[in-house]
Amino acid sequence: MITMPRIGEKAPEFQAVTTQGNINFPGDYQGSWVILFSHPADFTPVCTSEFMTFASLESKFDKANCKLVGLSVDGLFSHIAWLRTIKEKIEYKGMKDVEVKFPLIEDITMDVARKYGMIQPGESTTKAVRAVFVIDPKGVIRTIIYYPLSLGRNFDELYRVVIALKTADEFGVATPADWRPGDAVIVPPAGSCGVAKERMESKNGMKCYDWFFCTKELDKEMVMSKVLTN
Ligand code: BEZ
């Protein structure tokens, strides 16, 4: 049976060998956000562009208390050789001498990939698709994104996802389409007619488009000071 993890559930547990030693997932990451992501294969071009980009952004994710963990169904020596090639030989879009410091899991048995629904046979039976799991400090899956083999991910979007999830948690709000820090946020639906009326009058700094759709300003510095320290 193929299992697919779901948003709101605990991240499935596993132990694995990585380029940075053994890990116990998600237990080793308790207290941090973590992005577990898979790529189809080492020594392939889209994956190389992704690893160079993600590694270049690692310190930015780290400042948001978000760790990165990669996975493919290749073995450890392939991972080590590929990451060494990236560091020593590849210059791409101004990125060079890129060192991937986050762990890259070897999963030759495909046990972890299967557990996380990363093997999607319509796309490939022998490679993981480009899966992204954003997991919170309590080990709960908060966002899942899957991309096909041919489509490189947008890492600015993954950063935006982490910041938006943390903002929602910290401020008890939701974030509208294309939200970025400094944009207005959505305040929860009104609980009573009185509140709804007040909202329609756009009091308390709120702007209402209808009774069910109200936003309020949330200062960028306030957002970043909260999400970069927790
Ligand atoms: C790539 O990373 O370029 C790639 C990997 C597997 C299949 C297709 C493309």
Q: For residue 39, which of 95, 86, 3 has the smallest C-alpha distance?
A: 86
Q: Which atom of ligand 1 is nearest to the CA of 152?
A: 2
> Within 10 A of 153 (CB to CB), how many other CB atoms are there?
18
Q: pLDDT per residue over 109-150, tens digit each?
A: 999 999 999 999 999 999 999 999 999 999 999 999 999 999
- Catalytic site includes residue 47: yes
Q: Which atom of ligand 1 is nearest to the CA of 45?
A: 3
Specify the 3-state DSSP secondary structure of 46: helix
For residue 24, report the distance from its CA to the centre of ligand 1, in Å. 28
Of the residues 47, 66, 208, 214, which is catalytic? 47
- Quick check: 38 and 130 in contact, CB under 8 A? yes
Cα–Cα distance, 81 to 86 (Å, whole number): 9
| pTM listed for this prediction | 0.95
Q: pLDDT per residue over 140-190, tens digit each?
A: 999 999 999 999 999 999 999 999 999 999 999 999 999 999 999 999 866
Q: Is the CB of 123 under 6 A from ligand 1?
A: no
For residue 147, report the distance from its CA to the centre of ligand 1, in Å. 12
